[in-house]
Amino acid sequence: MAELYIRVGEDENEEPMEIPSEDDGTVLLSTVAAQFPGACGLRYRSPASQCMRGVRLVEGILHAPENDWGSLVYVVNYPKDNKRKMDEMDASSAVKMKRGIDRTSDLIILGLPWKTSEQDLKDYFATFGEVIMVQVKRDVKTGNSKGFGFVRFTEYETQSKVISQRHMIDGRWCDCKLPNSKVFNQYAGPDEPMRNCKIFVGRCTEDITTDELRQFFMQYGEVTDVFIPKPFRAFAFVTFSDDQVASALCGEDLIIKGVSVHISNAEPKHNNINQLFSNFPGRSPSLAAMFDRTQYRYPSSHV
């Protein structure tokens, strides 16, 4: 049987792209979304009424109108609250979203000597490549170093090289790492803003597995954890090693297994659970630990 193609475009007046159908004449929404990221359906203009009509979509499968796709041009539908956000981004932002793993991030430097200054850090790391930013974190009251800081490079290759080795700075061995939320919040303390590497994935279907979510989101950056609540509640949590990847994805509508899911921030309730209990006499460590296990709440739009 000869392969059938249908003509699809983002607008009726632009040059369409031919999309292959399945053997039974249907078209998978995932096939459309592969060429038009974020697509959630198709519509077409009826030759009879000249009105736009929607193409029937059942479980991620698009069915031909009256069992015949014909020579019509089908227009891509996008979620109304996120209609083709990529059109609103500049070229660099688009690349940033699609290849988040290949861009530089702020690296956290652990184990800094108390005497190390920002100039000392800049002079040291400049031997690896161009430095965009250095910062030594200090106590807001005393001005003393907290023993850690941040550095950011222009080139991703430089960042990879720096992460791969230990560093002797002012006579002390130091480590450079991507600042995931666990490492950063351990050192930052309650006066620092929390770096949240976790996203909330809403509108999930019950057939989506943790492995499928992990494989899908790995295209944006390193995934450290995937969690789907049981019993199933139509959402999941995905954690990245880089908080900036998580931040860049928030607000997006993405297609996973033919289903449009919405990404939002898995908001921390507060920066430090133990701090919450520190003012109570006879405080219970086990009680603080219990609250720590539920430190993320659902976005307000899903409550």
Q: How confident is the model at residue 120 (pLDDT cuts 50, 70, 90)?
A: very high
Domain that holds residue 259: 198-265
Residues 112 and 175 in one domain: yes
191 within domain boundaries: no
115 within domain boundaries: yes
Number of domains in the chain: 3
Tens of pLDDT, residues 24-42: 889 999 888 888 888 889 9
Question: What is the pTM (predicted TM-score) of this model?
Answer: 0.37
Q: How confident is the model at residue 170 (pLDDT cuts 50, 70, 90)?
A: very high
Residues 113 and 172 in one domain: yes
298 within domain boundaries: no
Is residue 255 scored above 70 in pLDDT?
A: yes
Residues 177 and 205 in one domain: no
End of a domain among 59, 77, 95? Answer: 77
Looking at residue 141, which CATH number applies to its domain? 3.30.70.330
Is residue 21 scored above 70 in pLDDT?
A: yes
Is residue 67 scored above 50 in pLDDT?
A: yes
What is the C-alpha to C-alpha distance for residues 243 and 192, in angstroms, rounded to an integer? 15
More confident residue, 24 or 241: 24
Residues 219 and 259 in one domain: yes
Residues 170 and 219 in one domain: no
Is residue 3 scored above 60 in pLDDT?
A: yes
